[in-house]
A and B are shown apart, each in its own frame.
Chain A
Amino acid sequence: MVGLVVLSLGLLTVSFRSTALDPVEGYSASVLRPFEIAANRVAHPFRDAASWTHGLFSAKSDNRKLRAENAELQRENALLKGAREENFQLHKLLNYAQGPTWPKDFGEVGARVLTSPNPLDQSVTISAGRNQGIALDDVVVTNEGLVGTVSKVFATESRVTLITDPTSNVRAVDVKNPAAIGLLDHAAGSSALVLDRVGKDVPPVNADDTIITAGSPTAGLPSLFPRGILIGFVSSVGQSDTDVFKDIQVQPFVDFSSLQSVLVLVPKATVERASPSARHG
């Protein structure tokens, strides 16, 4: 018993202080991977059945709400298409230089999500790694929005730290209010986020505004996240007399508890990767 405890402490110490055990962990993980995938496949119908049953209760109201939302989005989409074309032409005329944008400057690697996050560990394991071209700090998304960044890479698997992790910071902006740029931070509750550092002097931020990644502030301080990736919507805005900044709560678009597959954004350009410590969110 004492031997096992000492062995556990030894493993823990080595794991935390060095990367010496990474090959062992990577090899063990690749041995377990087929079993994980098989288990996920077996569990899939049961998960579907559970979510189908859950969906039945809210289907009618969801349908009505989505129809109204769809009509609104179609109108908005028509306007945006025109604006995008105009924007493209203006960029061309001005010879406007900008940082890497998604999806133009990034390749995408699709991967299956093998584990789920829990309150103490806001990270997931995905079924793609170094062999698929994934590197540390690559950005991870779904079609709903931003998921997180790659924090550990093995040959065939990677660990992704979610944006809901307390250690995660993302430079983000309100789409309708470009002055409202702040740092998206962790808040109380596993799926809640706060857009911090938005001064009280900036124009008002409203509930339901969409929040996206803000990209790099300057060329010398490149952000991990390219501009324009959807993050979530503003769920509430508060302001107190004593606080310097607004209190902006953000609800992410991605449901982190039911992630099934993700896309890892791999930069297309063969730019020299700065060390992780030199880059900031």
Chain B
Amino acid sequence: MILHAVKAAVLLFVAVLVQVAFFDVYTPLGGRADLVLVLLISIALLRGSIFGALAGFYAGFLVDTVNLGALGFTSLLLTLAGFWTGRYGETTARDRFHAPYVSVAVITALYGVGTLALDFFLGEPAPAGTYLSGLPATVLLNLILIWPVYALTRRIFPPVDASDRVHEVRLLA
């Protein structure tokens, strides 16, 4: 577990630097590939919800620090993204080939809307038109990115043993 945590920490740290130095610069078709989010989704799918939430919080803290933004902003969004992707990985997405692609498409869209909503609630500028017009391109770029990133992450984090998996999901309502 600790070894996995160290590996995730190093990978996410490098991803944040690559994101800032390279991916943030290019905005083809108005979209922007988000390596940190894609890597987080890959890790959460393979390691589960709690690991995903912790990784999300850590990655968000790094992003906010590097951008000198409000601490906690990206952490909040990535914690939720990591948790829900991990939950999906533990339950319905098990062994499904399409799971990373579905996760990236859905989480990228939700993350974008979440960022807008949080900005709006905090009274910050939230130009929905500008942002949402680039969202399809962002989803497309992230879908392209998930293939190599997930393959690499799968090598670094071998899938959880069958015995460790969640066997039952109880509906509360």
Q: State A258–B49 Cα separation when bound (angstroms).
A: 37
The residues in A between 217 and 268 inclusive whose CB is less than 8 angstroms from any CB of B are 257-258
Contact with B along A151-167 (1 / 0, CB 8 A): 01010011100000111
* Chain B contacts for A125, CB-based, 8 A: 66-68
Of the candidates B13, B71, B83, B126, the one whose C-beta lies within 8 Å of that of A12 is: B71
**Which of B21-29, B91-99, B144-152 binds A?**
B21-29
Query: Is A198 an interface residue when CB atoms closer than 8 A count as contact?
Result: no
Query: Is B159 an interface residue when CB atoms closer than 8 A count as contact?
Result: no
Of the candidates A4, A15, A36, A167, the one whose C-beta lies within 8 Å of that of B20 is: A36
Q: Are B76 and A5 in contact (CB under 8 A)?
A: yes
Interface residues contributed by chain A, number (CB under 8 Å)? 53
Q: Are B68 and A25 in contact (CB under 8 A)?
A: yes
The residues in B between 52 and 71 inclusive whose CB is less than 8 angstroms from any CB of A are 53-54, 56-57, 60, 62, 64-71
Query: Is A107 an interface residue when CB atoms closer than 8 A count as contact?
Result: no
Q: State A28–B16 Cα separation when bound (angstroms).
A: 14
Q: Are B49 and A1 in contact (CB under 8 A)?
A: yes
Q: Of all chain A residues, which has the CB nearest B132? A: A119
Q: Are A120 and B116 in contact (CB under 8 A)?
A: yes
Q: Are A32 and B76 in contact (CB under 8 A)?
A: no
Query: Is B163 an interface residue when CB atoms closer than 8 A count as contact?
Result: no
Q: State A115–B145 Cα separation when bound (angstroms).
A: 21
* Chain A contacts for B127, CB-based, 8 A: 119-120, 166, 188, 190
Query: Is A43 an interface residue when CB atoms closer than 8 A count as contact?
Result: yes
Contact with B along A114-154 (1 / 0, CB 8 A): 11101111110100000000000000000000000000101
Query: Is B108 an interface residue when CB atoms closer than 8 A count as contact?
Result: no
Most chain B CB within 10 A, of A12, A46, A189, A257, is at: A12
Q: Are B70 and A116 in contact (CB under 8 A)?
A: no
Q: Are A189 and B130 in contact (CB under 8 A)?
A: yes
Q: Of all chain A residues, which has the CB nearest B78? A: A8
Q: State A159–B66 Cα separation when bound (angstroms).
A: 10
Of the candidates B18, B49, B60, B119, the one whose C-beta lies within 8 Å of that of A8 is: B60
- Give the distance to chain A from B162, nearest Cβ to Cβ, in Å: 24
Q: Of all chain A residues, which has the CB nearest B68? A: A159
Query: Is A202 an interface residue when CB atoms closer than 8 A count as contact?
Result: no
- Give the distance to chain B from A93, nearest Cβ to Cβ, in Å: 48
Query: Is A103 an interface residue when CB atoms closer than 8 A count as contact?
Result: no
Q: How many residue pairs bridge A and B at CB < 8 Å?
A: 130
Q: Are B71 and A114 in contact (CB under 8 A)?
A: no
* Chain A contacts for B67, CB-based, 8 A: 115, 121, 123, 125
Q: A120-B116, A190-B130 are in contact. Are A25 and B65 (CB under 8 A)?
A: yes
Q: Are B115 and A39 in contact (CB under 8 A)?
A: no
Q: A7-B57, A119-B127 are in contact. Are A36 and B71 (CB under 8 A)?
A: no
Q: Of all chain B residues, which has the CB nearest A153? A: B68
* Chain B contacts for A79, CB-based, 8 A: none
Q: Of all chain A residues, which has the CB nearest B30? A: A119
* Chain B contacts for A115, CB-based, 8 A: 20, 24, 66-67
Contact with B along A37-71 (1 / 0, CB 8 A): 01110110011001000000000000000000000
- Give the distance to chain A from B76, nearest Cβ to Cβ, in Å: 4
Q: Are A154 and B131 in contact (CB under 8 A)?
A: no
Q: State A189–B134 Cα separation when bound (angstroms).
A: 11
Q: Are A15 and B70 in contact (CB under 8 A)?
A: yes
Q: A7-B57, A8-B79, A119-B130 are in contact. Are A32 and B27 (CB under 8 A)?
A: no
Query: Is A11 an interface residue when CB atoms closer than 8 A count as contact?
Result: yes
Query: Is A179 an interface residue when CB atoms closer than 8 A count as contact?
Result: no
Of the candidates B50, B76, B115, the one whose C-beta lies within 8 Å of that of A9 is: B76
7 A–B contact pairs at CB < 8 A? A4-B56, A5-B76, A7-B72, A36-B20, A38-B17, A118-B27, A125-B67
Interface residues of B (CB under 8 A from A): 13, 17-18, 20-22, 24-27, 30, 32, 49-50, 53-54, 56-57, 60, 62, 64-73, 75-76, 79-80, 83, 115-116, 119, 122, 125-127, 129-131, 134
* Additional pairs, 20, CB under 8 Å, beyond known A4-B57, A29-B65: A1-B79, A5-B80, A10-B72, A12-B73, A15-B70, A25-B64, A25-B68, A25-B71, A36-B21, A36-B66, A47-B22, A47-B25, A114-B66, A116-B24, A118-B24, A118-B27, A120-B125, A165-B125, A188-B129, A257-B27
